[in-house]
Amino acid sequence: MTIIWDVDDVLNALTHDWFHHEWLPSHPECRLDYAGLTQNPPHRILGVEEITYLRSLDKYRLSSHARAARPVPDIQAWFQKHGAGCSHIALTARPLATVPPLAAWLFEHFGLWIRAFGFVPSARPNCLAPACHAGKGDWLKWISAGDIFVDDNPQNIEQAAALGLKTILIPQPWNKAGDTLPEALNSLAHVAGLC
């Protein structure tokens, strides 16, 4: 089986780390905690325009802290236990300028298992990347590969399911995943026939 993995907020803890290492230090008046980020993007909850949030997030994505981030421990443990039992593809949606450091991070931490990497460029002012795919669902339709799709975004999960992929929703404050992360990963192992 081939598993297609989202990267941000699945293999890494991007939003959590951004919130604690970029947003809160520069917005000490913010009284939210990570669990309060019940929308993604969270700009309305944070009381700012979307572009302000995106600039902050992209700044963090290019930071040395993001490059030094550790993988999500439960995910890394899952790969160590089950990774050799499947083929793996990583798929992300982020601005083109932030893709090279993510690719280096991805293959540094998951290169034993992940053998392909795709991305959908997120629109940003002054970015000249052509819009070949409207989103992850469009990319999945184009690539016509994979059996299981793992993501934290319910819309991406719905698009993948509509294409016939089995899906696993990774719990985050902004989605309504009914499972804990260990439960979701256990389900993944069962769906992939690894248990």
Per-residue pLDDT of the chain (195 residues; tens, 9 = 90+): 999 999 999 999 999 999 999 999 999 999 999 999 999 999 999 999 999 999 999 999 999 999 999 999 999 999 999 999 999 999 999 999 999 999 999 999 999 999 999 999 887 777 767 777 778 999 999 999 999 999 999 999 999 999 999 999 999 999 989 999 999 999 999 999 998
What is the rounded end-to-end Cα distance, in angstroms, of the chain? 13
pLDDT of residue 170: 98
- Extract the tokens encoding 178: 């009914």
- At residue 122, the pLDDT reads 84
User: Distance between CA 143 and CA 15 in Å, rounded?
Assistant: 27
Helix (H) or strand (E) holding 81: helix 73-82
Q: How many CB atoms lie within 10 A of CB 91?
A: 24
pLDDT at residue number 128: 67
CA distance 17 to 48: 19
Q: Which helix (H) or strand (E) is 48 found in, with range?
A: none
Q: What is the pLDDT of residue 26?
A: 95
- Give the span between the Cα atoms of 98 and 18, in whole angstroms: 14
CATH superfamily of 2-13+70-191: HAD superfamily/HAD-like (3.40.50.1000)
